[in-house]
Amino acid sequence: MDSFDFDEILRARRLDDRVAVVTGAGSGIGKATSVVLAALGARVACWDVDSEGVEQTCAHIQAQGGTALAALVDVSDPAAVEAAVDQVRDVLGPVDILINNAGVSIPAGIGSDAFQASWERSFAVNLTGQANTVRACLEDLARAGDGRIVNIASTEGLGATAGMPAYTASKHGVIGFTKSLAVELGRLGVTANCVCPGPIETGMTAPIPAADKEVFAKRRVPLRRYGQPIELANAIASLVLPASSYLNGAVVRVDGGMLVRNA
Say if residues 107 and 68 touch (Cβ distance below 8 Å): no
Strands annotated E in 90-174: 97-100, 148-152
Taking the C-alpha atoms of residue 55 and residue 48, their distance in angstroms, rounded to an integer, is 9
Q: For residue 251, how far is the Cα from the chain centroid?
A: 12
Taking the C-alpha atoms of residue 106 and residue 165, their distance in angstroms, rounded to an integer, is 9
- Reported as type and span, the H/E element at residue 193 is strand 191-197
In the beta sheet, which residues pair with residue 191? Answer: 148
Cα 46 to Cα 35, 70, 88, 90, 194, distances in angstroms: 10, 5, 10, 15, 19
Q: Which residue in the list 123, 167, 177, 226 is annotated as catalytic?
A: 167
> Which amino acid appears at position 43 of this protein?
R
Q: Is residue 226 among the annotated active site residues?
A: no
Taking the C-alpha atoms of residue 23 and residue 47, their distance in angstroms, rounded to an integer, is 5
Cα 230 to Cα 13, 79, 242, distances in angstroms: 17, 31, 20
Say if residues 157 and 227 touch (Cβ distance below 8 Å): no
Say if residues 161 and 168 touch (Cβ distance below 8 Å): yes
- Reported as type and span, the H/E element at residue 68 is strand 67-72
The residues assigned a catalytic role are 167
